[in-house]
Structure 1
């Protein structure tokens, strides 16, 4: 069994938080919105908590931007009905891609299902995904597969944002 130091664990948690939030941002912006991803060190000193926290902060809503574009005579693509779920699940999918670089949506969905069941998903992610009861929820493989496809197509953007977040957080 490999033993990790506190510093190694903290570095991995920073990396996961940065990629998680960068994924939310990339998917949100893909649908026409804008926002900011942020990460910060947990200063509580509680060893049972994660060393790093993160958050995606929306500034403009894709639905509102589409409405404004159409009202201005600018063509705009239709938003998929599940766009919010895709944004909400993007962070968890990115963490799974990062952890084992799998292409199997079923394996990713299973891992995410376990994280949600174990209470490891944030309340904001769950709300965006439309999950109100972690004891009884459905996670559709096709949504996970679509989120994974979107993230893989834009992985370079996710990487750039995550590396920026890591650099900024450790300055």
Structure 2
């Protein structure tokens, strides 16, 4: 049996938290928004809780940026209708890929649906994705595939942000 140390578990959770939040930030920025990804250590001491938490905090919404740009006479491309879902699902998709089990969009969609139905997804991720009820939620393979494509195209940006979060979380 593989032995897990508290330090090993904490390091893995920090890695996953950073690589969960970094794709949220990158996708949000890709659509013209701005915000900050953060990770912090859980100070509760409760062994049943995660050691590391993370969050993406939007500052400027892509919809708002587009409206301002167009009002000012500056060209701003149309936002895809599903940009919020792509932004919201990015961290969950990244976690599934980082787990090393699969990079197949159908399998990732199934895994994300499973996590959502088992209450293993944060309220902010659900809200960002627009999910209010798992029974009404249809995560299709195409959305997952598009999310994968977006953050893989900009993998160096995701990696740089995640490593920044990890480095400064430890200080």
1: CA distance, partners of 2:113 / 2:98: 17
Structure 2 partner of 1:48: 48
Structure 1 partner of 2:162: 162
TM-score by length of 2: 0.96
Correspondence 1:116 to 2:116? yes
1: CA distance, partners of 2:133 / 2:118: 12
Shift of 1:6: 1.2
TM-score by length of 1: 0.96
Task: Output aligned runs, 1:91-130, within 5 Å.
Answer: 91-100=91-100, 102-130=102-130
**TM-superposition CA deviations, 1:65-91 (whole Å, max 9, x none):** 011111111111100000000010000
Shift of 1:135: 5.0
RMSD: 1.2
Q: What SS is found at the alignment partner of 1:48?
A: coil
Give the total of aligned pairs: 171
**TM-superposition CA deviations, 1:81-122 (whole Å, max 9, x none):** 000000100000111121117431011111111111111111
Deviation above 4 Å: which 4+ runs of structure 1? none
1: CA distance, partners of 2:81 / 2:75: 18
Structure 2: tracts of 5 or more residues without a match: none
Structure 1: tracts of 5 or more residues without a match: none
